[in-house]
Amino acid sequence: MSLTEAGPVIQARALNLTFQTGDGPVHALKDIDLTIEKGEFVSFIGPSGCGKTTFLRVMADLETPTSGSITINGTSPEEARRARAYGYVFQAAGLYPWRTIGGNIRLPLEIMGLGKVEQAERTARVLDLVELSGFEKKFPWQLSGGMQQRASIARALAFDADILLMDEPFGALDEIVRDRLNEQLLALWARTEKTIGFVTHSIPEAVYLSTKIVVMSPRPGRIADIIESPLPKERPLDIRDSPEFIEIAHRVREGLRAGHGDDV
Amino acid sequence: MRGGLAILVVLAGFWLLWMAAVPPMNMKWEVSQAQRAGAEVVLPEGNIRDASALWLTLRNPGLIPGTYVQEKPRLPAPAQVFAELWDTTVGKRLSSKRSLVYHAWITLEATLLGFALGTGLGILLAVGIVHNRVMDASFMPWAIASQTIPILAIAPMIIVVMNSVGITGLVPKAIISAYLSFFPVVVGMVKGLRSPGLMQLDLLKTYSASGWQTFWKLRLPAALPYLFPSLKVGIAASLVGAIVGELPTGAVAGLGARLLAGSYYGQTVQIWSALFGAAIVAAALVGIIGIAQNMTLRRMGFGR
């Protein structure tokens, strides 16, 4: 444990990934260099096709890079996946309709082979974390879209991994629900001190949540800019009206525009 | 309430159609009987064989009542069929060879055994097809081909082959049932087992779940809503298989035997009551699976 805490949590060096498609090769990731330290909240932002989701999937061992190296806690992504080093939240909640909310959260715990008592204890704890206590016995269709997404976050948290990878988890939700979930996510991050990788296409969301913003650009997918946020860890919603916030948002927008080149 | 009314209207329509079809179907025999008895009948010029049934019916309206009560009608009247149904179910001891319940039970045994065999085989094949590319490529064409062979052609061969190795009675019939019922189960289960999306499979991969866990916790429950409609088709096909399997055995017992014996002796009332018996059994079986479906899916949270 002390060994992994010493080094960076995620380290990518000269990472490339090319998909072979019917229309020829697609360079999804090009020369990605990135280091993520423990406890950071890193957002990946960029237009569709910039490889942000692909990069997250590489970290999760759901895609295999073509060249370059990447380590998670000092090991390969596959070893990290087998060691259940991360929780993953997908774009859609993807709850199993035949399982209750509690049953969905217990799914990874059953697979890990935990005992019933610990399953119940962890389920109760993560439901409390996402403010869904009392909904354990409900089926997914009985919950709103925002509540379903919170349940899927609880499912990823139940894992109790130090890394949380989130792929546009709030993309399908409306602005009001999204604000609230952003606030909750920050509170949760502060409480659990997890390392979070977060894919989004919303500039305010990226700036509001992150300690580090990775701006990406498409064709080929590459990193256009890495912005270390000077915002304090404590962030009320109205921080979004502060000059610092607007300045970072501006820099993100500049990065996105530069990356786009002549496409727009 | 309105649904009930609609059903009654459809039933009344069927009943009217049936009632209207009886006189022309049975009129020729009625006319020739009346002629033999010396009664006055209107005949076309030339031979009675050349007269159309409809023409005879319209010209001899007085003979119409008789067409509903013939002993061996071409088309029995509804009342005759239901009287026979009543007589051979409620009116006879269950152990009697003349009881339709006795014959239905013989057929039902073969149906249920065949359905169990077919469903088991179908599920196993589907699991193999989904998990093994070789099986997918090699089994599916055979499964499809098996259903294009007329069951009437293959049933006697199954009976004869099994008879030659000393297996008779229930098992050969059940095998014909299974032959018909495994296919819808294979098709439904393959579709169901493949229904989980990439995201749900990826999710289990991030949990580092084993293949067995993926099957048990994701594929199998996801397949259940697809399985039940297949079971409904399968059990109806099983019943058809069992009846067909009874035809070449020399018509000893079972609904198929009743059909065959009825056709040997021109007992159309018996044929029709056996047909209705088979339809009632099929409806009951499909209904039972429907209830199981509702209970299971509601417990699984699909019910809404």
pLDDT (tens place) for every residue of chain A, 264 residues total: 444 456 788 988 988 898 888 888 888 888 889 999 988 999 999 888 888 999 999 999 999 999 989 999 889 999 989 988 898 999 888 899 999 999 999 999 999 888 999 999 999 988 988 888 899 999 999 998 888 988 998 898 888 888 999 999 888 778 887 888 888 889 888 888 889 999 998 898 999 999 999 999 888 888 888 988 888 888 888 888 898 889 999 999 988 887 765 444
Using a CB-CB cut-off of 8 Å, the residues of chain A touching B209 are 111
Render pLDDT for A24-55 as a digit per residue (tens, 0 to 9): 888 888 888 999 998 899 999 988 888 899 99
Q: Are B42 and B59 in contact (CB under 8 A)?
A: yes
Q: What is the DSSP string of A110-156?
A: HHHT--HHHHHHHHHHHHHHTT-TT-TTS-GGGS-HHHHHHHHHHHH
Domain termination site, one of B62, B88, B112: B62
Q: Are residues A256 and A166 in the same domain?
A: yes
Min distance B181 CA to chain A CA atoms (Å): 27
Q: Which of B203, B210, B297 to mutate to test the interface with A (most CBs of A within 10 A)?
A: B203
Using a CB-CB cut-off of 8 Å, the residues of chain A touching B217 are 107, 110-111
Contact B207 A84 (CB under 8 A): yes
Q: Does a structural domain hold residue B76? A: no
Query: What letter does residue A47 receive in the DSSP assignment?
Result: S
- Other CB atoms within 10 A of residue B187 CB: 20
Phi-psi region for residue A31, left (φ > 0), alpha (ψ -120 to 50) or beta?
A: left
**Is the CB of A137 inside 8 Å of chain B's CB atoms?**
no
Contact B203 A90 (CB under 8 A): yes
Domain termination site, one of A138, A160, A182: A160
Q: Are residues B114 and B30 in the same domain?
A: no
Q: Does a structural domain hold residue B264? A: yes
Q: Decide: helix, strand or coil at residue B169.
A: coil
Q: Chain B residue with minimal CA distance to A158?
A: B207
**Is the CB of A253 inside 8 Å of chain B's CB atoms?**
no
- ipTM value: 0.86
Q: Are residues A144 and A171 in the same domain?
A: no
Domain termination site, one of A141, A160, A179: A160
Contact B207 A97 (CB under 8 A): no
Q: Chain A residue with minimal CA distance to B217?
A: A107
**Is the CB of A114 inside 8 Å of chain B's CB atoms?**
no
Domain termination site, one of B13, B36, B62: B62
Using a CB-CB cut-off of 8 Å, the residues of chain A touching B200 are 94, 96
Q: Are residues B250 and B105 in the same domain?
A: yes
Q: How confident is the model at residue B292 (pLDDT cuts 50, 70, 90)?
A: very high
Q: Are B235 and B293 in contact (CB under 8 A)?
A: no
Domain termination site, one of A103, A135, A160: A160
Q: Are residues B121 and B263 in the same domain?
A: yes
Residue with tokens 């919603």: A237
Q: What is the DSSP string of A194-229?
A: -EEEEEES-HHHHHHH-SEEEEEETTTTEEEEEEE-
Q: For residue A207, give the CATH number of its domain.
A: 3.40.50.300
Q: Are residues A102 and A218 in the same domain?
A: no
Locate B178 and state its tokens. Answer: 């299974």
Of the partner residues A91, A99, A108, the one whose CB lies closest to the CB of residue B207: A108
Mean pLDDT of the region B257-266: 87
Q: Are residues A100 and A156 in the same domain?
A: yes
Number of domains in chain B: 2
Pairing of strands A212-217, A222-228: antiparallel
Q: Chain B residue with minimal CA distance to A164?
A: B206
**Is the CB of A94 inside 8 Å of chain B's CB atoms?**
yes
Q: Does a structural domain hold residue B12? A: yes
pLDDT at residue B76 tops 80: yes
CA-CA distance, B248 to B230, in Å (whole number)?
A: 28
Q: Are residues B51 and B181 in the same domain?
A: no
Min distance B3 CA to chain A CA atoms (Å): 28
Q: How confident is the model at residue B304 (pLDDT cuts 50, 70, 90)?
A: low
Q: Does a structural domain hold residue B190? A: yes
Number of domains in chain A: 2
CA-CA distance, A224 to A215, in Å (whole number)?
A: 5
Q: Are residues A98 and A80 in the same domain?
A: no
For residue B128, give its domain range. Answer: 100-299
Give the rounded percent of residues in chain B with a pLDDT score beyond 90: 48
Phi-psi region for residue A43, left (φ > 0), alpha (ψ -120 to 50) or beta?
A: beta
Locate A188 and state its tokens. Answer: 């949760």
Q: Are residues B275 and B180 in the same domain?
A: yes
Contact A159 B302 (CB under 8 A): no
Highest mean pLDDT among A183-187, B198-202, B231-235: B231-235
Using a CB-CB cut-off of 8 Å, the residues of chain B touching A88 are 202-203, 206
**Is the CB of A90 inside 8 Å of chain B's CB atoms?**
yes
Q: What is the pLDDT of residue A6?
A: 62
Q: Are residues A202 and A241 in the same domain?
A: yes
**Is the CB of A19 inside 8 Å of chain B's CB atoms?**
no
Q: Are residues A151 and A173 in the same domain?
A: no
Q: Chain A residue with minimal CA distance to B225?
A: A98
Contact B208 A110 (CB under 8 A): no
Q: Does a structural domain hold residue B95? A: no
Q: Are A90 and A166 in contact (CB under 8 A)?
A: no
Q: What is the pLDDT of residue A188?
A: 84
Contact B203 A84 (CB under 8 A): no
Strand order in A212-217's β-sheet? Answer: A86-89, A163-167, A195-200, A41-45, A212-217, A222-228
**Is the CB of A88 inside 8 Å of chain B's CB atoms?**
yes
Q: For residue B253, give the CATH number of its domain.
A: 1.10.3720.10
Q: Does a structural domain hold residue B185? A: yes
For residue A146, give its domain range. Answer: 92-160
Of the partner residues A84, A99, A100, the one whose CB lies closest to the CB of residue B208: A84
Q: Are residues B293 and B161 in the same domain?
A: yes
Q: Does a structural domain hold residue B160? A: yes
Residue among B136, B77, B126, B103 at smallest CA distance from B269: B77
Size of interface A-B (CB pairs under 8 A): 56
H-helix or E-strand spanning residue A34: strand A24-36
Q: Chain B residue with minimal CA distance to A101?
A: B301
Q: Are residues B46 and B189 in the same domain?
A: no
Q: Which of B201, B205, B206, B213 to mutate to test the interface with A (most CBs of A within 10 A)?
A: B206
Q: Chain B residue with minimal CA distance to A92?
A: B199
Of the partner residues B206, B208, B300, the one whose CB lies closest to the CB of residue A98: B300
Residues 144-203, chain B, touching A (beta carbon < 8 A): 197, 199-200, 202-203
Q: Give the helix ranges, DSSP H, for B71-196.
A: 78-89, 100-131, 133-148, 151-164, 170-193
Q: Are B47 and B13 in contact (CB under 8 A)?
A: no
Q: How confident is the model at residue B1 (pLDDT cuts 50, 70, 90)?
A: low
Mean pLDDT of the region B99-126: 93
Q: Does a structural domain hold residue B221? A: yes
**Is the CB of B296 inside 8 Å of chain A's CB atoms?**
no
Q: Are residues A173 and A150 in the same domain?
A: no
Q: Are residues A97 and A79 in the same domain?
A: no
Of the partner residues B204, B206, B301, the one whose CB lies closest to the CB of residue A97: B301
Q: Are residues A168 and A45 in the same domain?
A: yes
